Structure 1
Amino acid sequence: MMKPAPLYERVKQHLTEAISAGRYVPGQRLPSENDLVKRLSISRMTVNRALRELSRDGVIRRVKGVGSFVNEPNHHASLMEIRDIRHTIAERGTEHSCRLLEAGARAVSGETADALCVPEGTEILYAVILHFENGAPLQLERRFIRKDFAPGFLEIDFEEVSAFDYLQSIAPVSELEHIVEAARPDSLEITTLGIEPDAPAIRVRRRTWVGETVVTLGFFSHPGDRYRVSVRIKPADFPHRRGERDAPIVAGPAGCGSIGRR
């Protein structure tokens, strides 16, 4: 049996769900710590920790002596050219559908623990979703989430609500890492995407940070003959100071604290 979430996490969930539902809009002041203590019948220490973590995650900003306010969404930073498969399919004028294959909570280990920068045995949330375009399988999504970042993740209807949109509603992304590889398909990719065992699968590994914390890890697999990845960059988007050399492009996984920092 799963242990109930700590009280401070439930306070965070209460507030993030209220913000997502529009009960508190960007720029609006949240109830004071004393008000939350009375409304939720919990200690001030618990409320304070929840507000500190929401501030760390970029969801709210705290002004000393004034209160806590809902942050304005940073659309450019939160999207960072990340596109949800639903949006991509809709733009092509075709029909999207999906099927939830598995979701739950489990103790993490090995490479997944390393990628999320958490100790082995830490409980995380996960979902496996198969996306279709006009009835044909196009993407296998395997997503792992830090439980303290999105404790309500398993409560959403994955066939109706985009996991991508839900997570973006909690906090804007600070940093992003994409690793793209062509690889032999694993057994789940063969079964769900209909890929021949000797045909390539295009696999995108995505990590996202909020502040200095890795909050999500996703693997997005596609049939190699029906999917491509492109990047379009303007050199002007990366201004250089005189005498500064180009920053290296780091191959392989970045560190826990940031993307490509060494």
Structure 2
Amino acid sequence: MDEGRDKTLHQRILTDIEGNIVSGRWPPGTRIPFEVDLAERYGCSRMTVNKVLSQLAKAGLIERRRKSGSFVTQPQAQSAVLEIHDIQAEVQSLNLPYAFSLIGARKRLAKAEDLRRLDLDKGASLFEVTCLHQAGGHPFCLEERLINLATVPDAATADFTILPPGPWLVSQVPWSTAEHRIQAIGASADAAAALHLPRGTPCLVVERRTWSQEGPVTHVRFTYPGDRHALVARFTPASST
């Protein structure tokens, strides 16, 4: 056996298949050619192809189903529950190109629900921003954010078509405290339209409030399609007394 040739073919097949998946040419659900067909195409043994597919499955790029073949999986991002995560970094961790678009931005007075969310007094002025984050050209996450203008007055004139509000806020205001609230819901009409989902599709919603030394900064609501996102947390046992 020519081990050098076998390794070269292994890398070539791996690169070709991975490239088709990451580029979006093979979207989630696409059936990967059968082992026998790939072996014939590349002029190699089925064992070499099997090792490639096993490696791709271990990386989470494909799912191998007994008697059915191998299929491209739906990428699933993971973010830490206790961290202020960056959506662009989440998308790039999936080896997918990131993009975002501004849906709407406006200055307005806080409503009754906003006062509760941000611990504000009646008459408070807010800046409301809604944007869509994309992964590989497909909707990834809907962001609905309220910014307290008493704490961050520059938000009213910021250009959120260039930089999403999350990274902009991090660069402008050092936060001191954050609170996360996580729940599973059915997609609302607006969220479903933005994420290209049927209304009521299971979604994961992460709500976050942050404060600085000057007061409440922002309340943000991230809505993810439920099958494309996971939350993780690492912790240690509490010391016993």
- Shorter-chain TM range is 0.5 to 0.7
**Cα distance in structure 1, aligned partners of 2:93 and 2:226:** 21
Residues 106 and 124, structure 1, Cα contact 8 Å, conserved in 2? yes
Higher Cα radius of gyration: 2
Residues 195 and 201, structure 1, Cα contact 8 Å, conserved in 2? no
Gaps of 5+ in 1: 1-79, 244-262
Cα deviation code 1:167-221 (max 9, x no counterpart): 1122322111000100121111111012222321111110001137221100000
What letter matches 1:83 in structure 2? H
Residues 149 and 156, structure 2, Cα contact 8 Å, conserved in 1? no
Residues 186 and 201, structure 2, Cα contact 8 Å, conserved in 1? yes
CA shift, 1:118, in A, is: 1.0
Aligned ranges for residues 94-109 of structure 1 at < 5 Å? 94-109=96-111
Structure 1 residue aligned with 2:32: none
**Cα distance in structure 2, aligned partners of 1:137 and 1:104:** 23
- When the two structures are aligned, how many residues end up with a matched partner? 160
In the alignment, does 2:209 pair up with 1:194? no
Structure 1 segments (4+ residues) deviating >4 Å = none
**Cα distance in structure 2, aligned partners of 1:159 and 1:90:** 20
Structure 2 residue aligned with 1:251: none
Structure 2 residue aligned with 1:135: 137
Q: Tell me, what secondary structure is at the counterpart of 2:115?
A: helix
Alignment equivalent of 1:93, drawn from 92, 95, 117: 95
What letter matches 1:162 in structure 2? P
**Cα distance in structure 2, aligned partners of 1:121 and 1:148:** 11
**Cα distance in structure 2, aligned partners of 1:182 and 1:98:** 23
Q: Check 1:234–1:212 CA distance in 2 against 1; reply closer, same or farther (3 A cut).
A: farther
Residues 192 and 198, structure 2, Cα contact 8 Å, conserved in 1? yes
Residues 151 and 214, structure 2, Cα contact 8 Å, conserved in 1? no
**Cα distance in structure 1, aligned partners of 2:169 and 2:136:** 26
CA shift, 1:83, in A, is: 1.0
Aligned ranges for residues 1-262 of structure 1 at < 5 Å? 81-211=83-213, 213-235=215-237, 243=241
Cα deviation code 1:76-126 (max 9, x no counterpart): xxxx62111112112332111111111011111122211111123321111
Percent of residue pairs identical: 28
Greater strand fraction, Structure 1 or Structure 2: 2
Q: Tell me, what secondary structure is at the counterpart of 1:229?
A: strand
Residues 113 and 119, structure 1, Cα contact 8 Å, conserved in 2? yes
**Cα distance in structure 2, aligned partners of 1:92 and 1:154:** 33
Q: Tell me, what secondary structure is at the counterpart of 2:228?
A: coil
Residues 151 and 216, structure 2, Cα contact 8 Å, conserved in 1? no
Cα deviation code 1:49-76 (max 9, x no counterpart): xxxxxxxxxxxxxxxxxxxxxxxxxxxx
Gaps of 5+ in 2: 1-81
Cα deviation code 1:101-156 (max 9, x no counterpart): 11011111122211111123321111000111011101100110110222121433
What letter matches 2:141 in structure 1? Q
**Cα distance in structure 1, aligned partners of 2:107 and 2:235:** 38
- TM-score, structure 1 as length reference: 0.57
Q: Check 1:194–1:151 CA distance in 2 against 1; reply closer, same or farther (3 A cut).
A: same
What letter matches 1:114 in structure 2? R
Q: Tell me, what secondary structure is at the counterpart of 1:111?
A: helix
- TM-score, structure 2 as length reference: 0.61
CA RMSD, 1 decimal? 1.9
Q: Check 1:87–1:156 CA distance in 2 against 1; reply closer, same or farther (3 A cut).
A: farther
Residues 107 and 124, structure 1, Cα contact 8 Å, conserved in 2? yes
Q: Tell me, what secondary structure is at the counterpart of 2:230?
A: coil
